[in-house]
Structure 1
Amino acid sequence: MTGYASARGPVVPQTLDSEAESSAPSLVVEVRSVNGRFLDLALRLPDELRAAEPALRERVASCLRRGKVELRVALELGGPAGLRLPSSHELQRLLALQDQVRAWLPQAAPLSVADALQWTQRHAAVPAQAHEALLSLTDQALQALQSARAREGHKLTAMLQERLAQLRERIQQAQPLAPLAVEQQRQRYLQRLHEALGAAHAADTPALQERVLAEATAFALRIDVAEELTRLAAHVDEMQQLLRQGGEVGKRLDFLAQELHREANTLGAKSASLELTRLSVDMKVLIEQIREQVQNLE
């Protein structure tokens, strides 16, 4: 299912110093998911947090089972309020480096404020608490994503129940037509055989009559769709039960949708009347709609 969620927080615990808090590094975690039959996870991490990749994959796999998921992490060293304030140690080290360079290159221009800020932002060390903060924010984002996917799942479930109800109506309409079509085809087959035998001046013997009746019956059985209609109804019952039950039912529903499609194809191939053919086409349309949406459920 599709969904989006994000979480933002500081890398280190908040302090009472508002100035220090505004310049503290922070993390932003974004999780996006789109439809997919299996779990396909892509991670977008800054180099400083690559070591957390195995733990992040484990976190996502424990919460999600299906979908194409992208987890993106951004490390804002300056914090959400602006640039990080360099420490005195960083400025002293930068000044010492400048003195060493200018000792060998007296013509080198001194560092500007912008140069000093850019260097300290780029080479700032990631705090040791970054790993724990990243996992905590990831849990928050995944929880929000699951809530969004659950809301979409309720809408999809209602739509699937509606399509299954329409499919059941088509099955019920076809059930009384099946034996009628079989009997009509049987009578038509008998009539044609008698006409062919009469044209050939064949002897009207009891053995021949029995052979003709057996052939007509065998043909009628070949076009009987009662078994396909029974299986279609059983699959619809099972899918409705799974939707009411909830939980991780996406793959089972996907399998049942494939079985529905197979039975509907057989029904259309064996159909011996125009009305049954029309109903089988309607069933295929509904089943295709069900198959498309079932793949979105987890």
Structure 2
Amino acid sequence: MDHENPPGCCGGPSAPPQAGLSRRTLLRGAALATGALTVGGVVGLPVMAHAAPAIYNPFAGYPITGTWEEHLSSGSLGGIDFGMGVGTNLPACGAGTIQNIPNNGTGGHTVTIHHADGYRSQYMHLSQFLLSDGTAVAAGTVVGRSGGAVGAPGSGSSTGPHLHWHMINPSGVRINPLTYVGQNPGGGLPKTTTEQDGIPGPICYKRMQNWLRITSGYTGPIDGVPGVNTYAALQRAMRGYGYTGPIDGVPGVNTWKAVQRLASGWGYTGPVDGVMGPNSWRGFARFLNQDQWD
């Protein structure tokens, strides 16, 4: 358990008034058009609505060692702790830009991901920063490595290896990221239509990458564009389905035979021949469409 505290438009010239319209009428119309409030004849600031950015839980495969309630009861402003070894890759929970805060008080080395519409996510007690300030990242991009070992550089007040994660809303208040994800299900990955049409596409591959991130050491972005790292992780995962070839990230017949064996548990009834057709992909997609890979 840890006890973190927080860290720390220009326009062109105005058009001339239109004939027959008073200045008061023009101001009132502008206020209504922009959503501004008028109090006692004074135009106030516009009322801003904040959209919810797409966020997912990158740490679903790790045990929670400190709940939100436990943080609050210990005097922290809130957070979720996930038990993981020092040096674990930390994927971004959503798209945004990076801000690194070294030695952020009790939180130690902290990465802040600035999402859309004023939301932020913070990862604390890092052992290593990986990206420069201002770097734009997609969901799933590795932004740092976990730490938390007692007394180690960047650990802050941590009493053991783990990651602390909390979000901050546009008002500057900490919020529970797991509650946020639960209330904004659009933050998870959508289900792939490959289960119906047998044609793999970006969503299918994103779900594959997220499954491999959780289970098989994939550390690249969740971008739906599989490359050597994605396929190397797939080959590692297929060890459990009879694949005995090299982990070289170049899938061949034996890799795909193992995928078909996996798919046979999800409705695929065709031959195990290493030729991925629509029926093979449908079975594989049924596996990938499980909620746990959202």
TM-score category, normalised to shorter length: under 0.3
Rg comparison, structure with higher value: 1
Higher helix share: 1
TM-score normalized by the length of structure 1: 0.22
TM-score normalized by the length of structure 2: 0.22
For CA contacts below 8 A with separation 6 or more, give which structure has more relative contact order.
1
